[in-house]
Structure 1
Amino acid sequence: MKQTEIISLSVAELQEKLNQSKKTYADLKTTHSISPIQNPLQIRTLRRLIARLNTELSKRELQ
């Protein structure tokens, strides 16, 4: 998900996407600790997406 797509989302959509991403991230981490996943870069990509979503939510709270 690109930054322009994140900016165009509403606050409710951002929170929903954040919760969904956090759940997926936790699942990937658990799966990867048990047995290696095909593409471990997915973990880094999801972590960065979560950071972008958190940043956008914080930015909107300040405005």
Structure 2
Amino acid sequence: MKKSDLSNLSVAELQNKLGELKKSYSELTMAHTISPIANPLQLRSLRREVARVATELSKR
């Protein structure tokens, strides 16, 4: 998601989005630990997405 997309969401929606992203990130890291995933760059992009949402929440 882009920064402009995140600024349009409410605080409750951002918290839900953050929870979903953290859950999917932990599942992906677990899958990568067990057997390497095809595209390890997914980890980086998902981690950055979590950081974007967390930053937007802390701004508010």
Give the gaps of 5 or more residues in structure 2. Answer: none
Q: Give CA deviations for 1:13-56 in whole Å, capped at 9, x if unaligned.
A: 00000000000000000000010111111110111011111110
TM norm structure 1: 0.91
AA paired with 2:52? Answer: R
TM norm structure 2: 0.96
Percent identity over paired residues: 60
Q: How many residues align?
A: 60
Instruction: For 1:48 and 1:54, locate their aligned partners in 2 and report how far apart those are by CA, in whole Å.
Output: 10
Give the gaps of 5 or more residues in structure 1. Answer: none
Alignment of 1:11-22 (within 5 A): 11-22=11-22
AA paired with 2:25? Answer: Y
